[in-house]
Amino acid sequence: MIVLALDIGGTKLAVGVVNDAGDVLADAIEATGDAPSADAVVERLLSMARDAVSRSGIAWQELSGVGVSFGGPVDFPSGTTVRCHHLPGWERFPLKDVVAERSGLPATMDNDANAAALGEATFGAARGCPHVLYLTVSTGIGGGVIIGGRVHRGASSMAGEIGHTLVAPDGPGCTCGRRGCLEAVAAGPGIAAAAGRALDAGEQSALSAIPRAALTAKDVAEAAETDALAACIIGQAGEYLGIAIAGAVNLLNPNIVVIGGGVSGAGEVLFRPVREAVERYAVPESVRGLRIVPGALGRRGAMMGAAALALTEGGWSPG
């Protein structure tokens, strides 16, 4: 089977022509930019898709279906977006039906974290694992849950929102309006903000050479191997992630935890405190044999998840 994968993100649009072995026959990525409407984004994506299919050497009629990953909450049963935190005009947009009508292909869609979880379980770091907890840690923190090889979406398609787990009751404000959510203290902006607060309080660090407005989580992670303040901040973020993951591990008992997103690129300086915190806070029987690993699909994670959605909806199952 060969399918079309579409990924709608706040900063990028991606398309791929993918076969059931996980080979990307052709793809394209463009900056999202100032999209005038949801309808215009769909048209742009399908234009990119037509070009990618042409470059892949296959005919459009050979495609079995199209999967869509959307960067925001969705109502999965109806195939409708709820909203997008980064782009206007996506409130209650019938994305699945619009893509199906305009592409002439059977369509399915899900939010980007669920898609990325399915992508890692189908083609990536969690391949062959029936029970998977996936986190994406970048500008925000999202999550996806695979139980028995299937995405668990919950009663209102909102399962997996681990970024809004409360881990620091007196912590900083979150985009959701509450305080102390995991996203507020362990996503990229939260890490950068913690470093800025420490520097403003007079802490000594090589990070002080970077203008506050330009300071990023990547700067903090890169300094953490040699800088005490940076190491402390990354360690605290890892601790918070570990607390939230431990709670999810106790509840779900997964085979594997996969962490993707830009912040996961920090490597062992982040993963070490995450694993230590999970060992400390989770039930020992749930941790025994548990692997906590970085994602394997990188920037293609949500796109490959969209492909996996299309494949599984089309009746394919991994061999």
pLDDT tens for residues 268-317? 999 999 999 999 999 999 999 999 999 999 989 999 999 999 998 877 77
205-245 tens-digit pLDDT: 999 999 999 999 999 999 999 999 999 999 999 999 999 99
Instruction: Please list, in sequence order, all residues whose beta carbon lies within 8 angstroms of the beta carbon of residue 123, skipping any fewer than 6 positions away.
Output: 22, 297, 304, 307, 308
Q: Give this prediction's pTM.
A: 0.93
Please state the domain extents for the chain.
2-119+299-313, 129-295
* C-alpha to C-alpha distance for 309 and 318, rounded to whole angstroms: 12
Tell me the pLDDT tens digit for each residue of 112-130: 999 999 999 999 999 999 9
CB 309 within 8 A of CB 121: no
Architecture of the domain delimited by 129-295: 2-Layer Sandwich (3.30)
Nearest to 241 by CA among 181, 151, 159: 181
- The answer to whether 2-119+299-313 and 129-295 have equal CATH topology is yes
Contact in structure between 307 and 16 (CB atoms under 8 Å): yes
Distance between CA atoms of residues 297 and 303, nearest Å: 9
2-119+299-313 folds as Nucleotidyltransferase; domain 5 (3.30.420)
